[in-house]
């Protein structure tokens, strides 16, 4: 499967909304929230597109002015693309994007019962930082995780992972 990673635009709003509905059973962003993240928030969203232009995943980073810490606010891989390495590829590109914005530490919250996501984040160098009891609306706890980022990485051709097709 060939995948292209790129910055999201307003034209991706409907596809992002559909992906939220397919990928999550609760704690979904509304269309209005997604619009805000794309158009108003101090954020960057990257999308992963398949060969036929279908949205296979996305991730949103939030930034705070004057802070060197960023937050992985949302991370989603379409159920049919899970287990293909897309999550790792997308997370690597998000880390590069964060580093390019001056972020030195990247944090996130993850459901305590999401073993697949916890495993991915740990393999990618995130460490457990804090425990939040009953963090989600269904009462599930969450782990806060953090990773210290290195300097931005590029390949031998000088391209960022966001600019090249995979």
pLDDT for the residue 163: 41
Q: Torsion angle of alpha carbons 23, 25, 26, 27, nearest 10°?
A: 0
Residue 115 CB contacts under 8 Å (≥ 6 apart), including other chains? none
Q: Is residue 163 in a domain? A: no
What's the whole-model pTM score? 0.87
Q: Is residue 37 in a domain? A: yes
Q: Is residue 81 in a domain? A: yes
Domain extent, residue 11, equals 4-148
Show the CA angle centred on residue 3, arms to residues 60 and 150, nearest 5°: 50
pLDDT along the chain (166 residues), means of 10: 93 97 91 96 97 95 96 96 96 97 97 96 97 96 95 40 40
Give the residue from 54, 80, 74, 51 showing the smallest Cα distance to 62.
Answer: 74
CATH code, domain carrying 118:
3.40.630.30
């Amino acid at each position: 499967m060939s995948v292209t990673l790129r910055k999201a635009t307003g034209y991706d709003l409907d596809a992002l909304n559909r992906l939220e509905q397919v990928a999550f059973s609760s704690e979904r962003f509304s269309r209005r929230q997604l619009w805000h993240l794309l158009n108003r928030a101090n954020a960057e969203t990257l999308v992963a597109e398949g060969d036929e232009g279908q949205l296979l995943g996305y991730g949103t980073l939030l930034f705070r002015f004057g802070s060197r810490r960023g937050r992985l606010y949302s991370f989603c891989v379409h159920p049919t693309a899970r287990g293909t390495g897309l999550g790792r590829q997308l997370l690597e590109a998000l880390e590069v994007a964060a580093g390019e914005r001056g972020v030195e530490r990247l944090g996130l919250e993850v459901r305590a019962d999401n073993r697949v996501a916890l495993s991915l984040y740990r393999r990618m160098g995130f460490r457990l930082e804090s425990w939040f009891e009953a963090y989600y609306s269904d009462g599930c706890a969450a782990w806060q995780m953090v990773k210290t980022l290195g300097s931005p990485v590029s390949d031998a051709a000088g391209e960022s992972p966001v600019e090249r097709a995979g």
